[in-house]
Amino acid sequence: MLHRKIYQLCCDGREVWIFLRDQQRWIERARILDIEGDLVTLRYETEEEEENCSWEEMVRLESIGAVTQKLASVPKGNVEPAVSDDCPEAEQIPNNRFPDANPE
């Protein structure tokens, strides 16, 4: 099951966070480049002492303990989402989100 999911993530080309059980560490914002047998090739970047480093690493499928991916992000604070005039009316966010319960 994990092999199929990793293959799907490889085809999608999305960023993933991978936990390596044997090293007890997370690889953040990695892309799965290839799967060959039980070897998974990952590419990711790190920032160390004002230096950006690109890494390509091969890990065994059995050492992968968890794979997560970001589904969405929302800005913090009281930010009103932008509504485009080109957007169909059915998909627009109404201006009055909390109508009065007792209109009089």
Condensed to tens digits (0 to 9), the pLDDT of residues 27-79 reads 999 999 999 999 999 999 999 888 999 999 999 999 999 999 988 777 787 87
Tokens 């509504």 identify what position? 83
Write down the pTM of the prediction: 0.67
Higher pLDDT, 29 or 100: 29
Contact present, 9 and 69 (Cβ < 8 Å): yes
What b-and-e string marks burial along 26-43, b requiring 16 or more CB atoms within 10 Å of the CB?
A: ebeebbbeebeeeebbbe
pLDDT band at 19 (very low <50, low <70, confident <90, very high): very high
DSSP state of 86: T
In order of start, what are the domains of the chain with their CATH numbers? 1-68 (2.30.30)
**Tokens matching residue 76:** 């913090």
